[in-house]
Amino acid sequence: GEPDYAKAYECYALAAALTHSSEATYKLGDMYSRGRSVRRDLGRAHALWEHSLELASDCVEQAQPAVRIAKLLVDPNCGDWGMQRDPLRALHLFQVAEIGLRLDIADGQTYYRRRLQEAIEGQKRARALLEEEGGALE
């Protein structure tokens, strides 16, 4: 069948409200980031992903919101969404995501391999930005 984004939004919003689900919350953020059934709003998506990260109980649950937030923190346009670029926090979040994704993949969820590569490549990008900023770790 065809995707029903309005119904998906309704289900994720209900789950997030009733159960404080980390997964439902980051998926709501995804809907805002992509403009599915709602107006595209990366600032709202970011807030939902941050809340999802707070709700996560372990590194496996942290992986999905962490990689999404980290990608925003190294994006040169992040100021357009009311955020400051933060490659050091991005590096940390990409590392958290890598650990959680590796555990997911080891548990048979091999469809996360591409997302794992994003986390690994993101770490390289964050490190390069840190070097451009004059070696913030010196």
Task: State residue 137's pLDDT score.
Answer: 47
- CA of 95: how far to CAs of 12, 58, 80, 85, in Å? 27, 14, 25, 17
Name which of 8-22, 51-65, 92-106, 124-138 the model is least confident about.
Answer: 124-138
Q: Which tokens in the block code for residue 52?
A: 């999802």
Examine the pLDDT at 135 and tell me if it is beyond 90. Answer: no
Mean pLDDT, range 108-128, rounded to an integer: 97
Name which of 40-44, 91-95, 99-103 the model is least confident about.
Answer: 40-44
Mean pLDDT, range 125-137, rounded to an integer: 84
Examine the pLDDT at 136 and tell me if it is beyond 60. Answer: no
